Amino acid sequence: MLFMIIRKGDAFTESGALPGPEALEAMGRYRDELTAAGVYRGGDGLLPTAVGARLRYSGGRTTVTDGPFTEAKEIIAGFVLVEVATLVEAVHWARLCPSLAGGDAEIEVRQVAEAAHFPVALRPAVARMPWSTASAQAAAGTLGAAA
């Protein structure tokens, strides 16, 4: 199963300050551990919302709002993808993730939707999804039994 370890945004990540050498070294060691365990599948950090945009869809209309966004509890600062057997194992790896803030941080763990989560009848639609995991599995014909 594929899980996303999501580093929630906060005042530090929204400040635009880049992590220093010690934080980068800690994250590098973390990636090395994930890689050595064979569970690392990717990850990235995100720049502050000040250089982003938010789109809202309502009543057939799209509204675009430039950042920054003040609702810090809804901000994602970065993520790591791990492939493990259970949520418990994903939480284990999330606990080992160093905080780039050097102090308090919030991390969320979510399972990624995979092809096997969809009914077989939806194979053509799933194969065209912009979700790399589900669409690649569906296109390869590895879509599981009906969910």
For residue 41, which amino acid is it?
R
Check residue 123 and give its pLDDT: 75
Check residue 94 and give its pLDDT: 94
Residue for token pair 């675009």: 64
Mean pLDDT per 10-residue interval, the chain, length 147 residues: 92 88 92 97 93 93 90 82 97 87 81 85 81 61 46
CA-based nearest residue to 68, from 96, 43, 48, 41: 48
pTM strictly above 0.85 = no
Sorted by where each begins, the domain ranges of the chain are 2-112, 113-147
> What is the rounded distance in angstroms from the CA atom of residue 145 to the CA atom of residue 29?
38
Domain 2-112 class in CATH: alpha beta
Check residue 4 and give its pLDDT: 96
Question: Which H or E run includes 58?
Answer: strand 53-58
Check residue 29 and give its pLDDT: 95
Check residue 147 and give its pLDDT: 38
